[in-house]
Amino acid sequence: MDILYSDNRILVCVKPAGVLSTDEPGGMPSLLRAWLGDEHACVRTVHRLDRTASGLMVFARSRAAASLLSEQVRGRAFTKEYLAVCEGSPEPACGRMEDLLARDRARNKTVTAAAPGKDVRPASLRYRVAAEKDGLALARICLETGRTHQIRAQFSSRGWPLAGDRKYGAQSEGPLALFSCRLGFSHPQTGEPMDFFRLPPREGFWLPFSSELAALGPAF
């Protein structure tokens, strides 16, 4: 496990692609219990990351910590930033996306909706294109809401599916190019501001953007 920080209240780590973030066999909590050497350790999921995505996550190590972190998520006091490689050239190069999103449970997809309705929820994010190469664009994204498959659905609906995301219309083959690069929150026990930043591995769709990634810093 790639662990960035651990104490008796929280654990910050990198979730690998293909691993569930929820508490079930093979999911991150069970893997973290194995890392801790205690199969009965309290490890609770407080936010989610798509199974096919990778990157930073924080897990609570007590019921109280989980409640306080979840409250920060609901109150939008929890910063989540991502890096993505998408097909096409987002216009403008820096902007904001606002949509109404609904879940198509039969296809396990999130889709844009034309009007409010049952199970339709507003979604918004900010993005900035850092570089473009060979029909692909490296984008940094700050989530303002946390809907299922939000980034994938919002970029795809504008004709810029994430590289490797065949479910949402990508033409390219390979692992999904979506990485949770930054988390910011207050420590649930001390209230201390916590900020973590990590870049994706230089492989796959990230490789052509190695120099641009190396120049990125924690500030959006």
24-47 pLDDT, tens digit each:
999 999 999 999 999 999 999 999
**CATH, domain range 2-215:** 3.30.2350.10
pTM of the model: 0.94
Q: Is there a catalytic annotation at residue 119? A: no
* Three-class DSSP category at 103: strand
Nearest C-alpha neighbor of 123 from the set 105, 102, 101, 93 = 101
84-108 pLDDT, tens digit each:
999 999 999 999 999 999 998 888 9
Q: Where are the domains of the chain?
A: 2-215
Answer yes or no: are the C-beta atoms of 146 and 137 closer than 8 Å: no
Distance CA 114, CA 97 (A): 15
The CB-side HSE value for 103 (13 A sphere, CA atoms) comes to 7
Of the candidates 7, 50, 119, 165, the residue annotated as catalytic is 50
